[in-house]
Chain A
Amino acid sequence: MNDIILVVTVGSILGMFAGLVPGIGIFASLIMIYPFLLTLTPMETIFLYIALACATQYFGSVTAIYFGVPGESSSLPAVIEGHALYGQGRAHEAIVFSSIGSFLGSFIGVAFFCLLAFMLSGFFPTSLQQFIALAVIGFASTILIKNSIRAKILMFVIPLLIAHLGMPGMSVIPQFNFGFDFVKYGIHYFPFILGLICAKQIMFADTVIPSNAQKNKANPLDFLRYKLSFIRGSVVGGFGGMVPGLTTMASSNFSYSLEKRMSENHHDKSMRCLVSAETANNVGSITQLVPLLLFGLPITASETVLYNVVQSKGWLPGSDNFWNVLSIGWPVLLVANLMMLLLSWRYAWTLTKVIPKNGTMFKTMMLVICACLSYYVGDLIAKEGLKFLIIFLLCLPFAAMSKNTNYMPLAFWLVIGENLLDNFYRLIFQLY
């Protein structure tokens, strides 16, 4: 239990940082602590991820409301409506209501999850079902995420070619190492995603322009005025969280669009939209784990990394595992969510002080840390530090030249490629 408390605390603090600082989202922060993840048990890793995902949603909206800059990709409705409320002098009210929505939303998410786990208990996908599901998830996220057609095709083809490199010699799958020693056992995904996604997010992170604090004046009971927005956000968020590739972004944007339409002529439209979107993204941050924890089907790039890590520790998906996770962790998650609610309620403005003022220096420092990290992780997992560093450095120019390209689908295919091919070749050569 102590270990769970420790990892939830680490996940919450990290999530707070990831939410507040533009450019460091869930994915980047997960990659930055990759060496730490390798030291945790599967259960601890899952808890750290849940705490990280929840905390990011709480604090992403703080940066969005105060500065009009999205702390997290799902904070876009908070940028539009929340920052408008800031302009009306209602920033604290906006933060408190979105935090209450996030708090309650987390538990609606857990309830949603329990219901699905109960209904789908004992179901194991076959290789064919798993292959189709992974392919559909991969293609859906590739298509849904905004990129040029050429980029979309390359992001699917290149990772699958890389996944073929050096497939295990004793398998039935053909080997593709072309006599090169450095691809004998394939190429790990870590330096690619560190270089193409994390480094790019850091390079192009928005800069925060200082603004003024506003006095506290929110009455929490006023949240009841937005109960219908909260309910709508919960339902939409629950399903939106399971949209491949988009998850919390889909949750918050779908519920925002719905709420906007439903509150067309309402005098308090902005607050209603904000509450709905912020509730939805927290519900979504929990329900996005349904396919992963129950069937081993990751639906976002960060989940593929999580899956890869927990799988390497002998963890297997299934509803039994889920009940174990829940029975041990629910009190810790409750306390962690309560703490985040209180922190964002009372100290939101104070916490914004962690956002670095000197953007260029911060970005340079983070890129140097990424370079060191690529070497360290390479050395740690396969004594291939130099190889990892070279790949990371080679990825940097591509990251710098492609500001408008979203590399998340590439990360998804890179991490999931080996699993996908394993299922594919088993189906082709052995099962049928």
Chain B
Amino acid sequence: MKNKNIVRSIFIGLILCFYSFTAIAQEITMLVAGSKTGSRNHSAQLMLADSKANLIEGFELNVVSPGDVCKAHELVPDYISNTPVLILNLSRYAAAIEAGSASCDLYDIKKGYPVMSQVILNYFLSNTGLTTEDMHKRPLKIGYAKNYQILKDWHQQIVEATGQPHKFVAYKGSGNLKKGLYSGEIDVGVFNQLRAVKMIKEDNVSVLYTSEKTSDDHASLTDLDPALGRNQTETLFLFGGNKRMAKKIAKRLKANYSNANGEWANYVLTSGVPHYFGKNKKADFQSAVDSWLQK
């Protein structure tokens, strides 16, 4: 009788432990490696809204936005001691490190588990009806969200390929870049696909070039010179966690994306960005890095 009670207590105890572990959501810090007005911060805030709405079930997201790529990466070790850390990292940064043009040491992404990738192209957009030909006819003011030195080589190549001394103007974040384009202080803005597709649909902006071929027949820089093409990937890395956790988060995000039941899913779906959850993430990221390193 006594043994029966002990077994029953252990059984109930185990069930309670199980439920207490599953009921308490795992806290994760998402460090935004980008500007406060940029699209990475925007994505992070949308994921945060989904986390609050319990759409990334089992994980409680906490977003920290220091407003700077270098600082975000520098903070990784500090946060890892308390919570696992998620960072949406751009292949362009990895390429900059390999090319030796990064302005700071980023946290080694090889230590992280990739969760999800999205391929993002760059779109050259105009708010005043400029066309592809205009890029070849006269020098334009082209705005971009400022980043690493590696962009400068690309800009120089574009100037040479179009035969016009275009002026490249740096903005702090794609939000400010959008304001710059709409205020008329620049002729063209280079936006990533997440912002561009939405702007084309909603604001009737024209596309001068895309950085790679797209299905909707826009002129691509690769038509001018294959070496101008840039395939860019954003990969969500998990640091300080384990592979199982990375898989679980990927599964939750994928479910959100497939059912379009969250702010983040709605945003990326309407922006038309393809997402990769699964085995080919690392390969995609590496091929994107290689694409940025091409000369």
Binding site for B on A (CB under 8 A): 41, 124-129, 168-172, 185, 296, 311-314, 316, 380-383, 422, 426, 430-431
B200 sits at the interface (CB 8 A): no
Do A313 and B45 touch across chains, with their CB atoms under 8 A apart? yes
Between A and B, 5 residue pairs with Cβ closer than 8 Å are A170-B70, A171-B170, A313-B45, A380-B64, A382-B71
List the A side residues contacting B71 at CB < 8 Å.
Answer: 185, 382
B78, B149, B169: which contacts A426 (Cβ < 8 A)?
B169
- In B147-185, which residues have CB < 8 Å from any A CB? 147-149, 167-172, 175-176, 178-180, 182-185
Asked if A124 meets B182 with Cβ closer than 8 Å, knowing A169-B104, A170-B146, the reply is: yes
Asked if A171 meets B37 with Cβ closer than 8 Å, knowing A127-B180, A381-B64, the reply is: no
Do B103 and A383 touch across chains, with their CB atoms under 8 A apart? no
B109 sits at the interface (CB 8 A): no
List the B side residues contacting A170 at CB < 8 Å.
Answer: 69-70, 103, 146-149
User: What is the size category of the interface that chain B forms with chain A?
Assistant: 35 or more
- In B36-50, which residues have CB < 8 Å from any A CB? 36-37, 41-42, 45, 49
Q: Which of B78, B176, B182 has the most CB of A within 10 A?
A: B176
List the B side residues contacting A422 at CB < 8 Å.
Answer: 172, 176
B65 sits at the interface (CB 8 A): yes
* Docked CA distance A426–B171 (Å): 8
Do B36 and A312 touch across chains, with their CB atoms under 8 A apart? yes
B182 to chain A: closest residue by CB: A124
* Docked CA distance A313–B30 (Å): 13
Do B104 and A383 touch across chains, with their CB atoms under 8 A apart? no
* Docked CA distance A169–B146 (Å): 11
Binding site for A on B (CB under 8 A): 36-37, 41-42, 45, 49, 64-71, 75, 78-79, 103-104, 141, 146-149, 167-172, 175-176, 178-180, 182-186
A124, A128, A311: which contacts B37 (Cβ < 8 A)?
A311
* Docked CA distance A172–B65 (Å): 21
Do B79 and A314 touch across chains, with their CB atoms under 8 A apart? no
List the B side residues contacting A172 at CB < 8 Å.
Answer: 146, 170
* Docked CA distance A353–B64 (Å): 39
List the A side residues contacting B171 at CB < 8 Å.
Answer: 426
List the A side residues contacting B75 at CB < 8 Å.
Answer: 382-383
Do B146 and A383 touch across chains, with their CB atoms under 8 A apart? no
* Docked CA distance A296–B182 (Å): 14
* Docked CA distance A127–B141 (Å): 14
List the A side residues contacting B65 at CB < 8 Å.
Answer: 312-313
List the B side residues contacting A311 at CB < 8 Å.
Answer: 36-37
* Docked CA distance A138–B66 (Å): 25
List the B side residues contacting A431 at CB < 8 Å.
Answer: 141, 169, 185-186
List the B side residues contacting A125 at CB < 8 Å.
Answer: 179, 183
List the B side residues contacting A126 at CB < 8 Å.
Answer: 180, 183-185
List the B side residues contacting A129 at CB < 8 Å.
Answer: 183
Asked if A168 meets B70 with Cβ closer than 8 Å, knowing A124-B179, A313-B45, A314-B175, the reply is: yes
